[in-house]
Structure 1
């Protein structure tokens, strides 16, 4: 930090297991990645190349190399995994991970129907090759999953070998964990946290109001994801109580 302030909450140090910021790259150019890393690298723990953008991204290997040079791991979005799986190309997906030197992968079923036992078996298989993040929740706003099922699926997927489980919200923050308005399904989140350790969950929270809510609920070291590159520094100030929304949250009287 550039200078000292009292009563700033402690942040975990990189490489973190808790307090993660997962950034979504929806198609940045190489130059944009360089600009983002100049200010955001210290506060970014992992980058997701959103949905299946890696399929159409020019200079993909060069982009991955830029992130690697900054010490930031990258993974392909879960929709790409689903695109391979639904076409019967799971083994091809594994070969793509090797071809691009990927060390992380996401297993999701937000756009397809998949039995939980099959999903867990795929997690177990991929966990022998890479570090697996698994996503729980549907991208269909009409599909409401009850809290007990979120908990059951998260527990199963962690036991199958997932490093973290991701709470689905899409890039807009208006499904899964949230209502169509972006409002947090508070009862769902609080019930999940009674059964699943907070450090094992990454909450997709692209909207500022959602980030504020999770910081106030869990603390400065909550894991949040689907953060836009240009919002990473802003999020860090929210975590530290240096933005109006959390200004009083960490102050002691």
Structure 2
């Protein structure tokens, strides 16, 4: 850091298992990636190329090489996985992972109907090839999944070989874990945490109010995802109690 401040909460350091910040790259240019890494790479743990943007992204291999040279793992959005599955092209998807040297993959079923045993089968198979993140929750705002089913699916997907499970919110933060207003489904989150270890969950939380809520509930080192590239440093200040939203939150516990 550039100077010393007392009573700053403990922040895990990279490489870390908790306190993850996952950013969503929705089509950054190579120059934009280089600039982002230069200013905020120390606070980024993993990068998702949103939904199926990798299909149309120019100079994809070169862009991935920039991330790799900075030590930032990249995975392709779960919607792309679903696009391959719905077309019966799972083996082609596996070849894409190898072709681009990807070491992580996301398995999701937010846009398609998939038997859960089938989904766990894909997780188990891919876990032999790469590190798997699996996403739980629907992108359909009208589809409300009861808490017991979130817990059941998260646990079985971890058992199938997922490294972490992702709580669905989309890039907008108004489905899955959240109401259409963006408000957190508090009871759902708290019930999930009674059964699933917090270090195993990556919560998609693109909106500032959502990030603040999770930090106040779980702490500085909560795993958060779908963070916009220009929000990485603002999020880090929220984690450290250096923004108005959490300014007083960590002071008493550190006196």
Report the TM-score when normalising by structure 2. Answer: 0.99
What are the ranges of 5 or more consecutive residues in structure 2 without an aligned counterpart? Answer: none
What are the ranges of 5 or more consecutive residues in structure 1 without an aligned counterpart? Answer: none
Aligned to 2:148: 148
Report the count of equivalent residues: 253
CA positional deviation for 1:62: 0.6
Aligned to 1:30: 30
Task: Say which SS state the counterpart of residue 133 (structure 2) adopts.
Answer: strand
Any idea what the Cα deviations from partners look like across 1:26-82, whole Å, max 9, x if unmatched? Answer: 000111111111111000000000000000000000110010111000000000000
CA positional deviation for 1:225: 0.2
Separation (CA, whole Å) in 2 of partners of 1:16 and 1:80: 27
Any idea what the Cα deviations from partners look like across 1:68-124, whole Å, max 9, x if unmatched? Answer: 111000000000000000000000000000000000000000000011100001000
Structure 2 residue 45 is the aligned partner of structure 1 residue 71? no
Separation (CA, whole Å) in 2 of partners of 1:247 and 1:202: 24
Separation (CA, whole Å) in 2 of partners of 1:206 and 1:40: 17
Deviant stretches of 4+, over 3 Å: none
Alignment of 1:89-108 (within 5 A): 89-108=89-108
Separation (CA, whole Å) in 2 of partners of 1:4 and 1:32: 30
Aligned to 1:49: 49
Aligned to 2:161: 161
Task: Say which SS state the counterpart of residue 241 (structure 1) adopts.
Answer: coil
Separation (CA, whole Å) in 2 of partners of 1:85 and 1:40: 35
Separation (CA, whole Å) in 2 of partners of 1:30 and 1:14: 23
Separation (CA, whole Å) in 2 of partners of 1:156 and 1:83: 23
CA positional deviation for 1:156: 0.2
Separation (CA, whole Å) in 1 of partners of 2:92 and 2:34: 31
CA positional deviation for 1:21: 0.2
Separation (CA, whole Å) in 2 of partners of 1:160 and 1:151: 14
CA positional deviation for 1:3: 1.0
